[in-house]
Structure 1
């Protein structure tokens, strides 16, 4: 374990994710680029301030962190995931990208974390979740934890599967059947929950549907 990582206890959910992605992780980025739509749009919107801290909840293979770190060379990036199997790939990807000095990784639970406990900092300027909430049973709590990790003026960005209401019914049925294989459940109430979380903290919120409802994108804060 390198000096920029902190060990966290395992959990039932972590073990479940390890079981699913122990083999999938090797082809994850190659296959997911075709249907995890909106990720690059989220990265383009982050725009952290100079010297800012950006945290990804559920960083997976670190694909998003690496792209973001290259796009924003003036910022520092943090990531955690509940799956140790995915973190193994993430660490190696970050090392190969030559970004170990700017990207710190650790194991953590999105529903029960704090930047101070994981990384020894008070808060971050940007938090983002990319197709993560649909894999977290207590996803509402994850949104609350992410919003609480923001410093004043910070923003939380979320992209995930949408309702698919604007798409053919056969497509929606097929997509849901595929996602069920990986314990992925689109969060139909994402807009409602993000508005509740933002209202409770006196923050702004924006929600929009992307690609005829295939995906949804929310921003809290600012």
Structure 2
């Protein structure tokens, strides 16, 4: 999700989502859960490989939570955690709201841009799942906000597309607002203290995806 500029003082409570993105995600929200299982790999692994006890009493934020797939998984895996999801798309969040209703006030949703919408001061864990490669050109600003939103003991986990050796596939993904040129992982390794990072191939090497877990430096 792109990081939007702050709202004007005359309209601080409003966040204007560009129309092309509003249209894109209105359609994608209808097919998201039916299709994403086939190429958003590593989401379950990213959760299971966190060096955090499932019994931990922590606060978690997922940036770009979409239809709530990960929010449900996080709420189940960490039954004592409070989980927040933020996303630009009201259509995605409408679906997520139905999924997380069973958790009551333990899971909350926020509509808007990370870094613009006021959230809790600090989170123990921030999750980016197939979000950062879609934030162009401001993905680095999201990481800066994430650093400021983590306490000294806080952790960041990212699972996302890495790269592809095939120009036709890179072009195809670019049409869906996804950048695939291995730009994220080196920056994550530099700016956070790595706990774990791996790169995996998908569909015989058509593309690669990565999982990163890091701490504040």
TM-score above 0.5, yes or no: yes
User: Does the 8 A contact of 1:156 with 1:220 survive in 2?
Assistant: yes
Is 1:173 the counterpart of 2:168? The answer is yes
The 2-side partners of 1:22 and 1:135 are apart by 16
- Per-residue deviation, 1:207: 3.2
Show the counterpart of 2:5: none
User: Aligned with 1:77: secondary structure?
Assistant: strand
Q: TM-score, normalised by structure 1?
A: 0.79
Is 1:104 the counterpart of 2:108? The answer is yes
Is 1:24 the counterpart of 2:28? The answer is yes
User: Aligned with 2:15: secondary structure?
Assistant: coil
Equivalent position to 1:56, from 36, 58, 62? 62
Show the counterpart of 2:133: 134
Show the counterpart of 1:87: 93
Following TM superposition, the consecutive aligned residue runs of length 4 or more in structure 1 with deviations greater than 6 angstroms are: none
The 2-side partners of 1:159 and 1:79 are apart by 16
User: Does the 8 A contact of 2:17 with 2:88 survive in 1?
Assistant: no
Which segment is superposed worse, 46-55 or 142-151?
46-55
- Per-residue deviation, 1:100: 2.8
The Cα offsets for residues 157-210 of structure 1, whole Å up to 9 and x where unpaired, read as 011111134xxx4xx633x34323322222521122213422xxxx44643212
What is the total number of aligned residue pairs between the two structures? 198
**Structure 1 unaligned spans of 5+:** 1-6
Show the counterpart of 1:162: 162
Q: TM-score, normalised by structure 2?
A: 0.81
User: Does the 8 A contact of 1:156 with 1:219 survive in 2?
Assistant: yes
- Per-residue deviation, 1:154: 1.2
The 1-side partners of 2:97 and 2:21 are apart by 17
The 2-side partners of 1:103 and 1:214 are apart by 31
User: Does the 8 A contact of 1:124 with 1:150 survive in 2?
Assistant: yes
User: Does the 8 A contact of 2:164 with 2:181 survive in 1?
Assistant: no
CA gap 1:187/1:86 in 2 versus in 1, 3 angstroms: farther
**Structure 2 unaligned spans of 5+:** 1-11
User: Does the 8 A contact of 1:55 with 1:78 survive in 2?
Assistant: yes
The 1-side partners of 2:93 and 2:13 are apart by 12
Which segment is superposed worse, 211-220 or 128-137?
211-220
Over the aligned positions, Cα root-mean-square deviation in angstroms equals: 2.3
CA gap 1:124/1:62 in 2 versus in 1, 3 angstroms: same
Show the counterpart of 1:3: none
CA gap 1:8/1:189 in 2 versus in 1, 3 angstroms: farther
Show the counterpart of 2:186: 192
Is 1:209 the counterpart of 2:199? The answer is yes
